[in-house]
Amino acid sequence: MARKQFDLIVFDWDGTLMDSTATIVKSIQAAARDLGLPIPSREAASHVIGLGLAEAMQAVLGPDVDPKYYPRMVERYRYHYLTKDHELTLFDGVPEMLEALTQQGYFLAVATGKSRVGLNRALNAAKLLTTFAATRCADETFSKPHPAMLQELTRELGQDLKRTVMIGDTTHDLLMAQNAGSAGIAVEYGAHPVDQLYACQPIFSAKNVPELHAWLDAHA
């Protein structure tokens, strides 16, 4: 068997492992509606997925909105998201892929724009609490695309950034990988348009989870 090129595989959560993009978009739009603010388009709301919550709300509201609304947007967003998060499911094929990668001896980790409380709830609901060797959330360190999450995960697990791959559905994920000196793989079924993902020059771009799993099997 050929020697692996990666030891650590880091996954984004929302839009990569969990089918949550539409729910996040609707929750952002509902939060703006609650506050009587201009309601962001689906594209605008999708674009900020993957950022930390405070950064995401600031980015989606834009510079013309009074900053006093940022924390209120966060609060309303959380309210709407938490009424729906129990309905969310992993993409088809994700549990099998994670199980197979674990059996093959990879270290698995998560780097997400979610809060620690939010990720733990999601991991628990998905029965994945023991699957990942380490996880990093946006409220614990710098938000993507800053390389800190990948730097901290590799340090914690004693891994090399050059033998680490970041898998995500947004340019924030792929730019974080570039900034950290790691490889990046795009998935095309999440929040960001495919042409934007391609512009970040990922080493592979998967149309669905089975395609991602097959590539990792053959090339990782």
- The pLDDT of residue 74 is 96
Dmax (CA) for the chain in angstroms is 59
Band (pLDDT 50/70/90 cuts) for residue 56 is very high
For 14, phi then psi, to 5°, come to -70, 125
CB atoms within 10 A of CB 69: 18
Classify residue 116: in a domain, yes or no: yes
User: Would the pLDDT of 132 be above 80?
Assistant: yes
Residues 208 and 104 in one domain: yes
pLDDT class of 86 with cuts at 50, 70, 90? confident
Name the residues annotated as catalytic: 12, 14
SS (H, E, C) 151-213: HHHHHHHCCCHHHEEEEECCHHHHHHHHHHCCEEEEECCCCCCHHHHHHCCCCEEECCHHHHH
Residues 78 and 153 in one domain: no
> Which residue range(s) make up the domain with 156?
8-20+88-219
Q: Is residue 2 a part of any domain in this protein?
A: no
Percent of the chain at pLDDT above 70? 99
* pTM for the whole structure: 0.95
> Which CATH number goes with the domain that contains 96?
3.40.50.1000
Q: Residues 142, 178: one domain?
A: yes
My answer on whether 127 and 212 are in the same domain is yes
pLDDT (0 to 100) of residue 140? 96
Q: Are residues 76 and 154 in the same domain?
A: no
Domain boundary among 86, 110, 138: 86
What pLDDT band is residue 85 in, cutting at 50, 70 and 90?
confident
**In the predicted structure, residue 1 carries a pLDDT above the cut 60:** no
Whether 65 is in a domain gets the answer yes
pLDDT band at 2 (very low <50, low <70, confident <90, very high): low
205 within domain boundaries = yes
